[in-house]
Amino acid sequence: MTGTGTEGGGDRGAGTGRTRGRDGRAGEGREGGRDQVAGGRRKRGRDRVVGGRRKRGRDRDRDRVAGGRGAGRVWGWLADAALIGYFVFALFPIAWMLILSLKPADQLFSTYFSFTPTLGSYRTVLGDSEGIPFVRFFVNSLVVSVGAVALSLLVGLPAAYASARHRFKGSENLMFTLLSFRFAPELTVIIPLFVLYQKLGLFDTYVGMIWVLQLVTLPLIVWIMRSYFADLSPELEQAALLDGYSRTQAFFKVALPLVKPGVAAVSLLAFIFAWNNFVFPLILTSSEAQTVTVGALSFLGGDRPKYNLTAAAALVSVVPPLLLALTIQRYLVRGLSFGAVKS
């Protein structure tokens, strides 16, 4: 499947505003509904008609397809309102965590939207004062995620290059085996590893975690880099070979620099997935190598769940992936679809 980004694609017209299925899902519909009104008021549809910056002619002929100018404008408002409704649903939980984490403990249940903000929860969480070494979990997450990505790059890049450039016996099978990891239930591997790690002394260690995270990072890196290498024209490397470069030099000096942005993006994406993993550390670590995803749950334990601390811990633990995600927007499509959809 190749989408060579031919911009345009005509116009699907307005009027998709009726996102069916937006209502009736766990209490989001009505919320969204209410904010649609707010959204409707906030917006001044003027911009669309009076030359809102048209982007590469993508929205030509809208009004013609939607049937008349007036109708098109109304549909446009409805569509924007529906969009805003969805994004309220998408962003509200994050905003709510922020509110919860800034609330003092005594105002947790008394008021909803009015409170005196305090950084107390963050101080508690980052000061390890609840007997939960959260900072350590955070560092552990960093170590195992970076370690897993580094190891995957080390073995994955050569493999991706070889499988893109040489069709050899068994290469396809090997690639599909790798891809099938992506769909294997994690526990199929983890439960035996749980038994094995305890024998080998790898239980609750960085090495053990980095090893098992290959299940997440290696298929991603190999598959995506393979699609990048396959897109490179082989002539460049051939020219380098004619200039007297060795194969290895051609790889390092010609092929690799050309796919550098891809390598950077896929590394960050792999890091995010490793960071967000929960099953592996849940089962294969207990304290020494435990990560934030498991650590965040521990604030909910005990006889009185500490909502504000949980919210603070949750927010702290999503900061790295969110920041990284915003930097790799352009590469996401290819990364998320394992190279099946190019953008």
CB of 333 to another protein, least distance (A): 4
CB of 3 to another protein, least distance (A): 3
φ, ψ of residue 33 to 5 degrees: the values are: -60, -45
Is there binding between residue 8 and another protein (CB under 8 A)? yes
Count of residues of this chain found to bind another protein when the rule CB under 8 A is applied:
131
Is there binding between residue 25 and another protein (CB under 8 A)? yes
Q: How far apart are CA 326 and CA 51, in angstroms?
A: 28
CB of 47 to another protein, least distance (A): 5
φ, ψ of residue 303 to 5 degrees: the values are: -80, -30
Q: Are 42 and 93 in contact (CB under 8 A)?
A: no
Site for another protein in 216-275 (CB under 8 A): 218, 222, 246-248, 272, 275
Is there binding between residue 337 and another protein (CB under 8 A)? yes
Is there binding between residue 185 and another protein (CB under 8 A)? yes
Smaller CB distance to another protein: residue 181 or 206? Answer: 181
- Please pick, from the candidates 138, 211, 223, 331, the single residue that binds another protein as defined by CB under 8 A: 211
Site for another protein in 273-332 (CB under 8 A): 275-279, 282-283, 293, 296-297, 300, 307, 310-311, 314, 317-318, 321-322, 324-326, 329, 332
Reported as type and span, the H/E element at residue 73 is helix 69-102
Is there binding between residue 159 and another protein (CB under 8 A)? yes
CB of 120 to another protein, least distance (A): 17
Smaller CB distance to another protein: residue 258 or 324? Answer: 324
Site for another protein in 54-93 (CB under 8 A): 55, 58-59, 61-62, 64-67, 76, 79-80, 82-84, 86-87, 89-91, 93
Of how many residues is the chain composed?
A: 343
Q: How far apart are CA 10 and CA 49, in angstroms?
A: 18
Q: How far apart are the first and last CA of the chain?
A: 10
Q: Are 16 and 86 in contact (CB under 8 A)?
A: no
Q: How many CB atoms lie within 10 A of CB 133?
A: 15
- Please pick, from the candidates 104, 129, 150, 168, the single residue that binds another protein as defined by CB under 8 A: 168
- CA distances 223 to 103, 155, 158, 309, 336, Å, are 45, 13, 12, 39, 11
CB of 33 to another protein, least distance (A): 10
Q: How far apart are CA 308 and CA 107, in angstroms?
A: 10
